Structure 1
């Protein structure tokens, strides 16, 4: 099921993958360079409903409008705030999640929106090659349970670059920012996605 939601930033689109006996909702959005067709988002939407978690794949208004470049962070946050009444209308706890830029939005807004937890996929700790431009304060602002899933070779922040208390709890070996692995890696793309879904599924079980 897909629905359009009006926000201050324009119309967002939510694609629902519902659990039969849902006990929680994961609202998860995409990054600045892609949409909800990203492999990790689709894998989570396929796997989590079997474990009592309804997944809401959220396309930010700029993507729905067909624009190629993501707007400023404050506009992304406005779009996310706008979809929140819809993803929380069932009265279930909602995990605020996203990949890359979407993970930043989830972290920045978790407190004000009353998120039950935050899922950060491929959190962009800094621009590639610019570790001095750290965004770690967005992670430290999260006061609810937080799961960071990171590729071992992510140029936006390798796991060892995170502060010890914020080290990614789930690391995909050999993976880049898109959680893709090179052909020469000892694991396949499918293996990498299985690691992601297993880690997120186990984590959500601790929240239920």
Structure 2
């Protein structure tokens, strides 16, 4: 897959470009893994096969970890959101197409907090962290009740940060659609008993995202 790393004002953008693209999707990584983690590579490859142009980037704390080799906790939320806004501006300067945003876990959650403000074309979350591990009594869903951006959440049924039994009790915006992956965990990896491999789960998710983005822009 053709990829281009563009250094833009301290936020490198990794473009995975396609011909006759269906949509442009900016994807942020999760709290503990970089933009080129195995999961991010797999979902990007699967999305590109669906003619989705993917743009990846790293929050500052992760970029610093790449240089120093030392693990760092995520930056304060205000800094993460500032980076997201900067990235959206940079991507919009480089394409005339509508820009959808989203990401894995924390990256998707941060995108959901600014999707309306930034007038994103759509929002895609992969393994949304509805609550911290072991803390379902403290959901992070207040803003999701009033979200106006067309949203697709791909969620594993046994996700430790938002399982199906718990999440289906929430009252969420009617702009949000959740697609459940049978028996899958936070990385969308299903149990062997499901008959679905991890690769098939990723491919299925990418096909759903491509259909969603095409419909969102129709």
TM-score normalised per structure 1: 0.88
* Alignment check: 8 A CA contact 1:2 1:14 kept: yes
> Contact 1:26/1:94 (CA < 8 Å) preserved in 2?
yes
Q: What is the number of equivalent residue pairs in this alignment? A: 204
Q: State the 1:101 CA deviation.
A: 0.6
Map of 2:208 onto structure 1 = 199
2:196 to 162, 187, 193: 187
Residue of structure 2 in register with 1:106 after alignment: 111
Cα deviation for residue 51 of structure 1 reads: 4.2
1:36-87 per-position Cα deviation (integer Å, ceiling 9, x unaligned): 2344432332233454431101221211111532111111111111111111
Q: Which runs of 4+ in 1 moved over 6 A?
A: none
| Aligned counterparts of 1:30 and 1:201: Cα–Cα separation in 2 | 19
**Structure 1 unmatched ranges of 5 or more:** none
TM-score between the two structures when normalised by the length of structure 2: 0.84
In structure 2, runs of 5+ residues without a counterpart are: 66-70
Matches of 1:35 and 1:128, distance apart in 2: 20
Pair 1:4-2:3 in alignment: no
CA shift at 1:183, angstroms?
A: 4.8
RMSD: 2.1
* Contact map agreement 1:35 1:59 (CA 8 A) in 2: yes
Distance in structure 1 (CA, Å) of the matches to 2:207 and 2:56: 19
Equivalent of 2:126, from 114, 121, 124? 121
